[in-house]
Chains A and B, each alone.
Chain A
Amino acid sequence: MTSLLEVNNVSLAFRQRTGFFSPPQLIPAVKSVSMQVREGEVMAIVGESGSGKSTLAKLVLRLLMPDTGSITIDGRPSGTLSPRDFANLVQPVFQDPYSSLNPKRTLAEIIQMPLIVRGGVSAKESEDRARELFGRVGLPMRLFHTYPNQISGGQRQRVAIARALMLRPKLLVCDEPTSALDVSVQAQILKLFEELKQSFGLTYLFISHNLAVVERIADRIAVMYRGEIVEQGETKPFFAAPRHPYSRMLLSSVLIPIAGRPLPVVSRDFETLGNGP
Chain B
Amino acid sequence: MSPLLNIEGLRIDIPGHAGVLRAIRGISFSIGEGESFAIVGESGCGKSLTAMSVLGLLPRSAVLSAETMSWKNQDMRLFGRRQWSHLHGLEIAAIFQEPMTALNPVLPIGDQMIESFLHHRLGDRKAALSRAGELLERVGVVPVGRRLRQYPHEMSGGLRQRVMIAMALMCRPKLMIADEPTTALDVTTQVEILALLKELQADTGMALMLITHDLGVVAHVADRMAVMYAGEIVETGSVASVLSRPAHPYTRALLSCLPTRGQPLIPIPGVVPALIGELEGCIFRNRCGFAMPDCASQIPEREVAPGHAYRCLLARDDTGSTTDSSAAPLEAFQ
Contacts and interface: CB of A to CB of B under 8 A. Distances in A.
B contact patch SS: helix
A213 interface: yes
A184 B213 CA distance: 9
B207 to A, nearest CB: 19
Interface in B179-234: 186-192, 194-195, 198, 213-220
Interface in B129-178: 156-157
A183 B213 contact: yes
Contact of A239 (B187, B194, B261, B268): B261
Interface stretch (B61-69, B70-78, B237-245): B237-245
B131 to A, nearest CB: 27
Interface stretch (B79-87, B102-110, B250-258): B250-258
B195 A255 contact: no
B265 A216 contact: yes
B213 A257 contact: no
Contacts of A260: 219, 240
Residues of B in contact with A, size category: 35 or more
A156 B244 CA distance: 34
A48 B188 CA distance: 8
Contact of A187 (B214, B239, B266): B266
A263 interface: yes
Contacts of B261: 212, 215, 239, 254, 256
Interface string A127-163: 0000000000000000000000000111000000000
Contacts of B189: 48
A100 interface: no
Interface residues of A, number: 38
Contacts of B186: 48-49, 209
A153 B186 CA distance: 20
A187 B254 CA distance: 10
Given A184-B213, A190-B259, A253-B187, 15 more contacts: A49-B186, A152-B43, A183-B214, A184-B267, A184-B268, A185-B43, A187-B257, A187-B266, A210-B259, A250-B188, A255-B216, A256-B261, A257-B216, A258-B219, A264-B191
20 contacts: A49-B186, A152-B271, A182-B213, A183-B257, A183-B258, A187-B259, A187-B267, A188-B257, A191-B265, A209-B187, A213-B259, A215-B259, A253-B190, A255-B191, A255-B214, A256-B219, A258-B219, A259-B243, A261-B219, A263-B198
Interface of A: 48-50, 152-154, 182-188, 190-191, 209-213, 215-216, 239, 249-250, 253-264, 266
